[in-house]
Structure 1
Amino acid sequence: MFVLAANMLLDALEVSVALVALPAIGDDLDLAPHQLHWVVSGFAAGFGGLLLFGGRLVAILGRRPVYLAALLVFAAASLVGALADHAALLVATRFVKGFCAALTAPTGLAIIASAFPEGPARGRALSVYSLFGASGFSAGLLLSGALTEASWRWTFVFPAPVAVLLFAFAARLIPRDGPDPQAPRRYDTAGALSLTAATLLAVAGIAGGPAFGWNHPLTLAALLLAALFVLVLVRVERTTRQPLLPRELLGHRTLLRSALGAGALNGSYLGLLLVSSLHLQQQAGYGPWQTGLAFLPAAAPLALTALYSGRVVTRFGPARLIAAGAAAAPLGYLLYPRQGAAVRYATDVLPTMLLVGAAFVLAFTAFHVQATGSVTPPLRAVAGSFYQTAVQLAAALTTVLCAALYPAGRGPALALVTAVALAGLAAALRGLVPRRAGDPPGLPVPGRSSTTHPHRHRPRERP
């Protein structure tokens, strides 16, 4: 269990270490602010674009071999990224590490689901898993702040020995297994490649705006190709016999609303941290260590409350907690200063970080419970992958949009962050509206006990 949870810590840490190190990477590799986003969005694109495909690989090839192979590739990519002298190589390693995370994340959750019986034991295991993820993000802020003082390259080196150590323990502790006999036998490679290509081209097209101009042929070509691959994805998933995303999930409004809300919260948060990291280090005179400490009030509260979050969701219901969290986030973004280089941390930055931290404490676990609890047990694994895909893709797109707007000032970038968070709030408020009589069965009424704890009541199967 702790081997798998430690891997979750490593995946979360990968995001936070990059955010604090961005200005140092830009100075060393001569990257403008609108180019630095690739260090974050490249990882998110690999993670989100290939997460559903990663779950399919795990089901067909077996959990243990996929998990062990992903750890070794992750370690190798970390070393190559730390030695990279060109931005393209660094971004490529970030994408590869995102793909490795897309393989280890569903594997870890699948192993927990099989190793721990449904009920309190599995609930405690998932709480520990969430605790390590939240702790990893906080630890990454501090470690990156300390290591970047020496060199940003150390922030990409230290995950390598950790991954090798996890491999050594996992090789001994994770039981051998084979392919899932009930899993689809088709990989749906066309669907996976279409989604990944659409994501990368959309990010490249948005990044091309400030680099070449929004009317430049390269920018327009990337955006048009992204739209074309979206159409290809829709066509492939509608015609294949075993799509990556089962068609019945597309009708689950609660799942879709949870994915949209969680994506808005995660995307807006990472967008804020990107903007704030550049602002504090390039304009306000903060060092990497000071920046990591400045971000800690937004990350630490979730780590401190993760073990109790399940009880809170059971007590109040996910819909209410999600709405409260979705309201706290945009309020925090509105308080962040739009102009001026001078910063008074206690009044300019800390209120924003505390409100964002409160948003994650309230909504993080509630989103996951609402998303997976809205579907029948056989579909919960793929529903969880779809939910995480939305979270990661929102991160990739929001960070590149913030980076594209940042050259015009913090104001436009923060306005985008706030708008994304308000979209999440709108989805959360819709979740407070009771289900109408004509809505499809199998979708729980938000806020009822059947949704607050998926192990206590199983939603009805669709007719």
Structure 2
Amino acid sequence: MSSTTVDEVEEPSGSFTSHDTPPKRLGLALFVICAAQLMIVLDGTIVNIALPHIERDLGFSQANLQWVITIYTLAFGGVLLLGGRLGDLYGRRRMFVWGVALFTLSSLVAGVAQNEAMMLGARAVQGLGGALAAPNALALITTTFPAGKERNKAMGVFAAMSGAGAAIGLILGGALTEIDWRWNFFINLPIGIVVAFFAQRILTESEDGRGSLDVPGAITSIVGLSALVYGLTHAASTSWGDATTVAYLAVGVVLLVAFVVIETRVAHPLLPMRIPGDRTRGTSYFVMLIVGAGMFAMFYFLGIYIQTILGYSALKTGLAFLPFSVGIVVAAQVASFLISRVDPRWISGAGAGFAAVGMWGFTHLTPQSTYAANLLPWIVVLAFGLGLIFVPLTLTAVHAVEHEDSSVASAVLNTMQQVGGTLGLATLSTIFVNNMGDKVAELTARLPQGGPAPSKEAVAAAQQAIAHEAFTYGASRAYLVAAIMIAVGGVVTLLFLTVRHGELASDGAAPAHMG
């Protein structure tokens, strides 16, 4: 990718407002930041493929196995806002390195885990490390690279790593699980060590921010977000009407409302309301949430479809998603080139159109579909659309933010993606389960009644045919809703993302129409 060779540039007058001098080796700085981001993002999918092996080797019960994923999600999603504000207050590079170090050390512990408790404890600390590193990684892009061409290139690479990380995780997860599931965690060790080593030497530390830590805001945001994420996760595996689901969602909503009230009254809020209240940033956050909701469904349902219906192995399934990673990377480079020439709403709006069409294409999958003819074209279209969405919205989400708020503004973007993915999976899983159940009932009713009893082989074949038909039908309904979600995101982008491309070339205050 051409963007990975960002050369040393002179600081454009008036375009770089960080209190610090940008590092001379911008290309290496970009490599360090994006390597950490990729490590964190791919963890969301790389572990999924190893779950059956973890269950067998560590003696997990089926009920507790999902906590390997859930406890990471809770820690990561719940602490993101705090991680961003800690970076603003106590140094972005410091919090970034601490986050990478925690993530790396806990990966080692997870890799050598001998029982459930050891694994779950390590995964919780991994989530905390990710929550420290992720928002400060994006903030370091914003404060390290001068606004304009260099930052646009850097954001293109960063967005490509963020978008492609999940697919890369599937590929790596399949390959490493073939060797030993523990390598899904050990792979983080060399990456984390290299990133922590070079971050200390390449990245410039920010000044400590003004103010103090908002403890009431931190508590209500952590508990509220964690409760919300857990409630959504529980809804995906049970139902929206389940008592536990309702209780956690209610607690989450109440605490987040309390959090907003606290933030409007304290002197030094964890999340200043001017950040999400800005029209450009608010629009960017909302669209990232709704697009993330649709995208997570694609990985979940397609992963099952490719393995159970097409019959691919774990490794082959990962490779089947390789075109998705390539499409994201190519589109991100196109978007980073266009962003200095075209207003971001047109790029993201067009991307949403492509992505919605790609998601709609999956609604036509049947048990008889083939990868090359019926799946690959839509994967490429969807990936290209998502790449066009991510780069402009990553830039506009942190545009014109005050220097002392850059990490927490990045944390809000990460939080929206995390909550969006969880919300999407819960919502679309419900749609999938309901429609699949209806199709099973319909197909079962069509089976011939009476006559000689069929053989066991015939019964098994009929049951498998019904299961495959019902799965593809249920998934097609979920894909349709995901396509609508992404299309709505595109419409919101076109209507409300009014910032001009010329404004992204400076760090000046946002114009009046943006707020």
The TM-score, its normalising length taken from structure 1, stands at: 0.82
Which range is displaced more, 3-12 or 60-69? 60-69
Which range is displaced more, 208-217 or 276-285? 208-217
Equivalent residue for 2:280?
A: 254
SS of the aligned residue for 1:323 comes to helix
Which range is displaced more, 360-369 or 408-417? 408-417
Equivalent residue for 1:74?
A: 103
Equivalent residue for 1:460?
A: 511
Q: Whole-Å Cα distance in 2 between the matches of residues 396 and 93 of structure 1?
A: 21
Equivalent residue for 1:58?
A: 87
Equivalent residue for 1:422?
A: 484
Which range is displaced more, 143-152 or 23-32? 23-32
Equivalent residue for 1:14?
A: 43
Matched, 1:397 2:412: no
The CA deviation at 1:10 is 1.4
**For 2:179, which of 150, 157, 160 is the aligned residue?**
150
Matched, 1:445 2:471: no
Equivalent residue for 1:432?
A: 494
Aligned CA distance change for structure 1 residues 36 and 75 (closer, same or farther; 3 Å): same
Cα deviation digits, residues 49-99 of structure 1 (max 9, x gap): 322211221222223432332222111221233344666764554443233
Q: Whole-Å Cα distance in 1 between the matches of residues 71 and 378 of structure 2?
A: 26
SS of the aligned residue for 1:241 comes to coil
Q: Whole-Å Cα distance in 2 between the matches of residues 8 and 202 of structure 1?
A: 24
Which range is displaced more, 65-74 or 380-389? 380-389
The CA deviation at 1:425 is 2.3
Q: Whole-Å Cα distance in 1 between the matches of residues 196 and 274 of structure 2?
A: 37
Aligned pairs, number: 448
Equivalent residue for 1:328?
A: 354
Aligned CA distance change for structure 1 residues 256 and 333 (closer, same or farther; 3 Å): same
> Unaligned regions of 5+ residues in structure 1, if any?
436-443
Q: Whole-Å Cα distance in 1 between the matches of residues 160 and 235 of structure 2?
A: 39
Equivalent residue for 1:244?
A: 270
Contact 1:265 1:329 in 2 (8 A): no
Aligned CA distance change for structure 1 residues 416 and 83 (closer, same or farther; 3 Å): farther
Which range is displaced more, 404-413 or 366-375? 404-413
Equivalent residue for 2:340?
A: 314
Which range is displaced more, 415-424 or 372-381? 372-381
Q: Which residue identity lines up with residue 252 of structure 1 in the other structure?
A: D
Contact 1:45 1:98 in 2 (8 A): yes
Q: Whole-Å Cα distance in 2 between the matches of residues 74 and 309 of structure 1?
A: 31
**For 1:99, which of 117, 128, 142 is the aligned residue?**
128
Q: Which residue identity lines up with residue 100 of structure 1 in the other structure?
A: G
Cα deviation digits, residues 263-315 of structure 1 (max 9, x gap): 22223212211122223224432111111111122221222343443221233
The structure with more radius of gyration:
2
Contact 1:52 1:244 in 2 (8 A): yes
Q: Which residue identity lines up with residue 357 of structure 1 in the other structure?
A: A
Equivalent residue for 1:439?
A: none
Contact 1:64 1:174 in 2 (8 A): yes
> Unaligned regions of 5+ residues in structure 2, if any?
1-28, 437-470
Equivalent residue for 2:328?
A: 302
The CA deviation at 1:350 is 1.6
The CA deviation at 1:322 is 1.5
After superposition, residues 154-233 of structure 1 pair within 5 angstroms as: 154-175=183-204, 177=205, 179-180=207-208, 183-209=209-235, 216-233=242-259
Matched, 1:384 2:410: yes
Contact 2:354 2:384 in 1 (8 A): yes
Contact 2:352 2:486 in 1 (8 A): yes
Aligned CA distance change for structure 1 residues 277 and 22 (closer, same or farther; 3 Å): farther
Root-mean-square deviation (Å): 3.5
The TM-score, its normalising length taken from structure 2, stands at: 0.75
Cα deviation digits, residues 377-433 of structure 1 (max 9, x gap): 665554333222211221233234445665554444553454344234224313323
Q: Whole-Å Cα distance in 2 between the matches of residues 93 and 413 of structure 1?
A: 33
Which range is displaced more, 22-31 or 79-88? 22-31
Q: Whole-Å Cα distance in 2 between the matches of residues 378 and 172 of structure 1?
A: 22
Aligned CA distance change for structure 1 residues 318 and 120 (closer, same or farther; 3 Å): closer
Contact 2:142 2:406 in 1 (8 A): no
Contact 2:397 2:413 in 1 (8 A): yes
Cα deviation digits, residues 156-197 of structure 1 (max 9, x gap): 22112321232233344445x4752xx243222332332332
SS of the aligned residue for 1:286 comes to coil
Cα deviation digits, residues 310-345 of structure 1 (max 9, x gap): 221233321112122222223322332578655411
Q: Whole-Å Cα distance in 2 between the matches of residues 67 and 323 of structure 1?
A: 32
